[in-house]
Amino acid sequence: MTQSADLRTPLSPTPRSTLTRSKERARSERADLDAVLDAGLVCHLGVLLGGAPVVLPSIYGRDGDTLYLHGSTGAGNLRAALATDISVAVTLVDGVVYARSAFHFSMNFRSAVVHGRAVEVTEPADRMHALEVITEHAAPGAWSRVRLPNKKELAATLVLALDLTEASVKVRSGGPNDDPADIEHGGVWAGVLPVRQVWGEPIDAADLQPGLAVPGDVLERAEPGLVPAR
């Protein structure tokens, strides 16, 4: 269950989670962390594997102050994530910032980086809850209508939980930060090209049984005007 904002542990300003550059872009409110994590679809898990750093994309889910990850029990990267501290990053790109000089080109973005030691979720009810959270993050409404994982599938799935106490949030918005001389000189267009992610029209599976309609929760996410009436 999601905790109320006034009872939740504030973000920890540790050396790992304190920005060293562009500190004005830091966000300290836990709601800012929640917003980035809830808006993203894929995180990148950083872990030491065989003594070397490895960064891997993964789907995830958040419930309150806990981030859930999952994968195959045979995945060495997830097992390695239990042996040492890990880092998880989520980045949302909002626009490309065109400047008058190459040095000042940038991106408008929202990003979150979480540090900590993941723990394995072992209790059956907790594992099922974590898998529901992950599924619902990627596909809201799906968990209630699909076949749930059976014993064999659960045995093949490793579920990790990462506390969200130690994290940093960084946001860049607005136009270019050009030098006064470049602005005065002019002659080069400057501004922001916004980036947005949209859902397309749902595509039926090739082996879908005839007569099955696209669920309402899927249609609600589709780009307006793309989905024909059925």
What pLDDT, on a 0 to 100 scale, did the predictor assign at position 8?
Answer: 63
Cβ neighbors of 56 (< 8 A, separation 6 or more) are: 44, 45, 47, 77
CB atoms within 10 A of CB 134: 22
pLDDT < 70 regions, the chain: 1-10, 12, 15-26, 223-230
What pLDDT, on a 0 to 100 scale, did the predictor assign at position 229?
Answer: 44
In this structure, which long-range contacts are made by residues 37-41, counting pairs with CB atoms below 8 Å and at least 24 apart in sequence?
Answer: 37/62, 37/67, 37/90, 37/112, 37/164, 38/62, 38/137, 39/92, 39/110, 40/90, 40/91, 40/92, 41/137, 41/138
What pLDDT, on a 0 to 100 scale, did the predictor assign at position 17?
Answer: 64
What pLDDT, on a 0 to 100 scale, did the predictor assign at position 176?
Answer: 96
What pLDDT, on a 0 to 100 scale, did the predictor assign at position 49?
Answer: 87
What pLDDT, on a 0 to 100 scale, did the predictor assign at position 116?
Answer: 92
CATH 2.30.110.10 fits 15-200+211-222, yes or no: yes
- Between strands 157-163 and 52-58, the pairing is unpaired
What pLDDT, on a 0 to 100 scale, did the predictor assign at position 5?
Answer: 46
What pLDDT, on a 0 to 100 scale, did the predictor assign at position 51?
Answer: 86
From the number of C-beta atoms within 10 Å of its C-beta (0-12, 13-18, 19+), residue 66 rates as middle
What pLDDT, on a 0 to 100 scale, did the predictor assign at position 185?
Answer: 86
Burial 77-104 (b: 16+ CB within 10 A, else e): bbbbbeeeebbbbbbbebbebbbbeeee
What pLDDT, on a 0 to 100 scale, did the predictor assign at position 223?
Answer: 67
Q: Which two tokens stand for residue 17?
A: 């989670």
Q: Where do the structural domains in the chain lie, given as residue ranges? A: 15-200+211-222
What pLDDT, on a 0 to 100 scale, did the predictor assign at position 123?
Answer: 96
